[in-house]
Amino acid sequence: MPTPPTILIFDSGLGGLTVLREIVRARPDAHYVYVADDAFFPYGHHTEDEIIARVVPLVGELIEAHAPDLVVIACNTASTLVMSHLRDAYRLPFVGTVPAIKPACISSRTRRVSVLGTRGTVKREYTRKLISDFAQGCEVTLVGSGELASLAEAALSGQRVRDEDIAAELAPCFVGDGANDPARTDTVVLACTHYPLLLERLTRLAPWPVDWIDPAPAIARRVADLLGPAGSESDEAGAEMIFTSKRPHALTDALTPFFGGRVPA
Ligand code: DGL
């Protein structure tokens, strides 16, 4: 039987699990190494130079240690900065996660789209360029959230997170004169991989229904294309979870579904 490919998935914390979940569905045969750089979380609160100086050498060390066939940077805050640096430094395929502005603007009917990301992601030149290249006449509102990634981490870890705190981060995405305005926002781009962890609550707390755009399925398709045809699901294809803080964690039950039922070592 051919050796299963190793896929390394990197995020500042637990948000990349929403990308991992889709990749595991597309490639159940692969071996997964999920790395949460929780020692440096949240990336949204760091400067661009700090993130580049942190991520590029750290990913190099992880490649050295785990010899992956492909690396996914499952973090918009990092991907909008580091992809070209990583590709220059290391010879293997990288897949990034950047705001899904193009598909959102194609599908919006009211032509009003919001991009909900970290403060870092919405400030990036990269994000501004996606808007100027792909907005196609849509009005795009950039909403930088200071807290939503941390609230998502807290919720996944079983802590109580108040609806009011989530609703406050969400409110600026909803532009228009209430539910009867035909030109109100109808599409919100989830431009941080943490936010789909809260999707049910975002949907419930939204002032009116919108389409939420999560790029994870498209990222999974890209990974599957780059790796080529899948082998059959293999017993050897395990999963590892690494926290850079080396803090002990008791999240196994919450994490297992993201790994397709595997218990990460
Ligand atoms: N999950 C990360 C993203 O997609 C960001 C969270 C953070 O601020 O660290 O942008």
| Pair 89, 10 in one domain | yes
Residues 198 and 147 in one domain: yes
CA–CA distance, 128 with 108 (Å, rounded to integer):
19
Assigned domain for 182 exists: yes
Q: Identify whether 209 is part of a domain.
A: yes
Please indicate whether residue 19, judged by its CB atom, sits closer than 6 Å to ligand 1.
no
Q: Are 193 and 19 in contact (CB under 8 A)?
A: yes
Distance 229 CA to ligand 1 centre (A): 30
pLDDT beyond 90 at 132: yes
Tell me, yes or no, whether 264 lies in a domain. Answer: no
Query: CA 122 to CA 101: how far, in whole Å?
Result: 12
Whether residue 158 sits in one domain with residue 189:
yes
- 217 CA → ligand 1 middle, Å: 18
Output the pLDDT for position 5.
95
Q: Flag whether 265 is in a domain.
A: no
- Assign 112 a pLDDT band (cuts: 50, 70, 90): very high
The verdict on 182 and 238 lying in the same domain is: no
Separation of CA 1 and ligand 1 centre (Å): 37
Q: Which of 54, 143, 194, 197 to mutate to test the pocket of ligand 1 (most atoms within 8 A of CB)?
A: 194
- Determine, yes or no, domain membership for 231: yes
Which atom of ligand 1 is nearest the CA belonging to 192?
4
What phi, psi does 14 have (nearest 5°)?
A: -95, -5
183 in a structural domain = yes
CB of 118 within 6 A of ligand 1: the answer is yes
Nearest to 176 by CA among 199, 147, 204, 210: 210
Same domain (yes/no): 120, 61: no
144 and 59 both lie in a single domain: no
Domain check: are 79 and 105 in the same one?
A: no
DSSP conformation class of 146: S
Q: What is the mean pLDDT of residues 143-171?
A: 97
Structural domain of 47: 6-97+217-259
Residue 208 and residue 105 share a domain? yes
Same domain as 112, residue 198: yes
Token pair for 61: 């060390």
Residue 1 lies in a domain: no
State pTM to two decimals: 0.95
- Residue 17 near ligand 1, beta carbon < 6 Å: no
* CB distance 79 to ligand 1 below 6 Å: no
Check whether residue 84 and residue 154 sit in a common domain: no
Sign of CA dihedral 31, 57, 42, 265: positive
Q: Which two tokens stand for residue 22?
A: 């889709």
Q: Is 199 found in the same domain as 111?
A: yes
Known catalytic residues are: 75, 192
User: How distant is the alpha carbon of residue 238 from its chain centre?
Assistant: 22
| Helix, strand, coil in percent for the chain, rounding step 5 | 45, 15, 35
Measured from the CB, is residue 43 less than 6 Å from ligand 1? Answer: yes
Total domains present in the chain: 2
The whole-number average pLDDT for the span 221-227 is: 97
- Residue 63 maps to which CATH number? 3.40.50.1860
Contacts of 154 (CB under 8 A, 6+ apart): 161
Domain's final residue, options 178, 196, 214? 214
Phi/psi at 94 (nearest 5 deg)? -120, 140
79 and 137, same domain (yes or no): no
Q: Rounded to whole angstroms, what are the CA distances from 126 to 85, 179, 254?
A: 14, 32, 33
φ/ψ (deg, to 5) at 112:
-125, 115
The alpha carbon of 133 and the centre of ligand 1 are apart by a number of angstroms equal to 23
Render pLDDT for 21-71 as a digit per residue (tens, 0 to 9). 999 999 999 999 999 999 999 999 999 999 999 999 999 999 999 999 999
Domain annotation covers residue 205: yes
Helix ranges, the chain (H): 17-26, 48-66, 76-89, 101-107, 119-123, 125-134, 148-156, 163-170, 199-205, 216-227, 252-255
